Amino acid sequence: MEEYVFICEDSLEGIFSGVYEAYEFKKEEGIESHDILHLAVKEPDMYRLFTQYIRLETNEEKAKKVIRTIKRELGEHTYYDLCLAAICVDEEKADAIYHTIVTGLKYHDKNVFARLHDKAVHKAFTCRRNAANELHYCKEFLRFEELENGILYAKIGPKNHVLPFLVPHFADRLPADNFVIYDETRGEFALHPRYKQWYLVTNHEFDERELVYSEEEQVYRELFTEFCQTIAIEERINLKLQRQMCALRYRPYMVEFQ
């Protein structure tokens, strides 16, 4: 039997509007089951036989409709989980999200993420967990540096697209600070002007070497590094455990490991 793969943009709106198109396509073509419809976020490395590939444009209206339905039928909590799954690096996420929504709507199950025996739900669940874990690590290991003009600057290099979920945490925490978080992997900036709404900036030319740090910055870096070294109990040194708790890939961004 012929299968269909919809290729949509790798973004929240892209995936959700893809879901809309898939439903619409199913209805128009009179297809019986969602099983032969798939969603992907990029062109496949290998094209399969008996499969039609359909490229989609992102449509905000359609995405909004899907989001509204998810919130109403599956609840805010499921919506948040699906959003987290959507920022994961895993390319199979779009299909997993699509089929999780299908399952949820079919059984009117607000607790659809509990159906872990379902293959698609399990996949969406692991994507969500992956993204949520990294989001938490970023809250833990992100380090701000104070620039000359008092602005706080932080650089992160996450695998998943966690930045939009990360900023609210810091905006709530540091309302009186101007801060910038730079996602090195995607070249994306989050800007938070003091006491104002934060926003994202992409495609901006930027050279880190031009940054000038404040005089105090070096002092606090040294103080904290010293603190981290002193707090360890020599008789209990356990670098394996340290590595398990704080993966090496986060350390280039952390002052105490420089």
Partner 1 sequence: MKQEIMLGDKQEIPEVVKNSNAIEAFAKRQQTIMDKLKILTDAAKYDVSCSSSGVERKGNGRDMGNCSAAGICHSFSADGRCISLLKILFSNECAYDCKYCINRRSNDVPRATFTPDEVCELTMNFYRRNYIEGLFLSSGIVNNPNYTMELIYQAIYKLRNVYRFRGYIHVKGIPGTDPLLIQKIGFLADRMSVNLELPTADGLKKLAPNKHRKNILAPMRQIQQGIQQSKNEVILYKNAPEFVPGGQSTQMIIGATPESDYQLMMVTQSLYENFALKRVYYSAYVGINEDKELPAVTGGTPLLREHRLYQADWLLRFYHFRAEELLSEKKPNFNILLDPKCDWALQHLEQFPVEINRADYQTLLRVPGIGVKSAQRICGARRTARLTFEDLKKLGVVLKRALYFITCSGKMMYNTKLEEDYITRNLLSVHERLPFDRDGVTYKQLSLFDDGQENVRLFEHVAGARLKIPSGSV
36: contact with partner 1 by CB under 8 A:
no
Size of the site for partner 1 (CB under 8 A): 56
- Half-sphere exposure in the Cβ direction for 108 (13 Å, CA): 0
Nearest Cα to 51, choosing from 59, 40, 41, 64? 40
Using the rule CB under 8 A, give the single segment among 16-24, 48-56, 70-78, 248-256 that binds partner 1: 248-256
CB contact set of 214 (below 8 Å; sequence gap of 6+): 146, 147, 148, 150
Answer for the pair 112, 104: CB distance below 8 angstroms, yes or no. yes
Instruction: Pick one of 148, 196, 227, 252: the residue that binds partner 1 (CB under 8 A).
Output: 227
Q: Quick one: which of 33, 149, 203, 230 contacts partner 1 (CB under 8 A)?
A: 230
DSSP 49-113: TTEEEEE----HHHHHHHHHHIIIIIHHHHHHHHHHHHTSS-TTHHHHHHHHHHHHHHHT-TTGG
Q: CB-side exposure of 9: number of CA atoms within 13 Å?
A: 11
Pick the binder of partner 1 from 242, 249, 252, 258 (CB under 8 A). 242
Note whether 197 binds partner 1 by CB under 8 A.
no
Rounded Cα–Cα distance for residues 229 and 236 (Å): 13
- Residue 128 C-beta: closest distance to partner 1, Å: 13
**Minimum separation from the CB atom of position 66 to partner 1 (A):** 23
Q: How far apart are CA 53 and CA 234, in angstroms?
A: 60
Contact with partner 1 (CB under 8 A) among 16, 23, 144, 182 = 144
Closer CB to partner 1, 205 or 235, in the complex: 235
Using rule CB under 8 A, residue 147 touches partner 1:
no
Report the residue from 149, 202, 203, 229 that binds partner 1 according to the rule CB under 8 A.
229
| Residues engaged in binding partner 1 (CB under 8 A) | 107, 109, 111, 114-118, 122, 136, 139-146, 152, 154, 170, 172-177, 195, 216, 220, 222-224, 226-242, 244-246, 254-256
